[in-house]
Amino acid sequence: MSELYRLPDEHEELRATIRSLAEKEIAPHAADVDENARFPYEALAALNTAGFNAIHVPEDLGGQGADAVAACIVIEEVARVDASASLIPAVNKLGTQPILLAGSDEVKKLVLPDIADGAMASYGLSEREAGSDTASMRTRAVLDGDLWVLNGTKAWITNAGESKWYTVMAVTDPNAARKAQGISAFVVHRDDPGFSVGPKERKLGIKGSPTCEIYFENCTIPADRIIGEPGTGLKTALATLDHTRPTIGAQALGIAQGALDASIAYVKDRQQFGKAVAEFQGVQFMLADMAMKIEAARHLVYAAAAATERGDARKGFVSSAAKTYASDVAMQVTIDAVQLFGGAGYTRDFTVERMMRDAKITQIYEGTNQIQRMVMARQLLKA
């Protein structure tokens, strides 16, 4: 009976390993990464050396073939000390999931071993005027002999400039009866002619992860770099998000756990009115509520990851629920953490200020939480 509802030992061992690595190799650089808005190369090196940069890549393609829950644990534990660094494994999964779902064997063999070996991948779906309304994208791809020629701009591309590979959605049939059926998916290499990366966005949080536009100016790629059949790109893109929204939940979960851990340590040490702040009942109630929400979020994130792993029919609903709930919890918990630190929490001398800024994006990217609620409601009404 004791084995009925718990993570397997290998998942707990994985957590202990990645937590140790994160605390020793990633946490010491997190403040500098944020302060100088620089890429966390120390984290990349540590994750690559340990094989945690993309543990979801199948074993026969050079990876560890880890399941979706394991991938979430890695992202969660890295985010606990540095949200920017957690986007290395998270976005590697996002950028390669379309290939895993619909790519040819040739495309898989071209890209995935490279990612497992330390290269990075990004995901190009959004445009300035086609964020939540993805079907209204304007980027075009035209077949010219044995080449696809891409023209357009993608926006809000995480880790752009650092990534070597880019999964990109583009319109291949502008006259399709339904706009969604005229979109295809492609793999673009950073050295492909006509591809370039724009300047970095100036952001509120996750400053260590560059966010840029990417440009296609008569960008040519081999014809066999299409992912799946023409016209199936948006279907693949949306299926990808079912698999990766739990990873954003995991990132949010890690940020929240890091803020709670920091808060507990601070209120136990801080003295007011002749006793530790932790001894005040009002503070204890805040800590209890924070921990309770985090625990609930953790179970939902893992349940969603497991649902995607087994192809559960409800995976779309639970993935949206996990991303929404965990990111809302992260925002609530980090705000409370800053409050518990008092005036000190409002300074950059303590981690909770950074964590609060980092948490906000988890409510926005990979589909805003308002869009997630629409997705969930639509599935409920269909059922």
User: Which one of 76, 77, 213, 366 is the catalytic residue?
Assistant: 366
DSSP per residue, 136-205: G---EEEEETTEEEEEEEEEEEETTTT-SEEEEEEES-TT-SSGGGGEEEEEEETTSTTEEEEEEP--SS
Residue 330: CB atoms within 10 A of its CB come to: 34
Whether residue 309 lies in the annotated active site: no
Which token pair is 211?
A: 């966010």
Give 3-state DSSP helix, strand, coil % of the chain, rounded to 5. 60, 15, 25
Contacts of 99 (CB under 8 A, 6+ apart): 107, 108, 111, 112, 167, 187, 227
Please tell me the distance from the alpha carbon of residue 367 to that of residue 361, in angstroms, as a whole number.
10
Tell me the two tokens of residue 383. 């059922």
The one-letter amino acid at 166: Y
Mean pLDDT of each 10-residue bin along the chain, 383 residues long: 82 98 98 98 98 97 97 98 98 98 98 98 96 94 98 98 98 96 98 98 98 98 98 97 98 98 98 97 98 98 97 96 98 98 97 98 97 96 87
Angle (CA) 210-216-218 rounded to 5° is 160
CA distance 323 to 94: 14
In this prediction, residue 3 carries a pLDDT of 72
Identify each DSSP E strand in the chain by its residue range: 121-124, 140-144, 147-158, 165-171, 183-189, 195-200, 211-222, 226-227, 271-272, 275-276
- Assessment of whether the complete model's pTM goes beyond 0.95: yes
Provide CB contacts within 8 A for 342, sequence distance 6+.
none
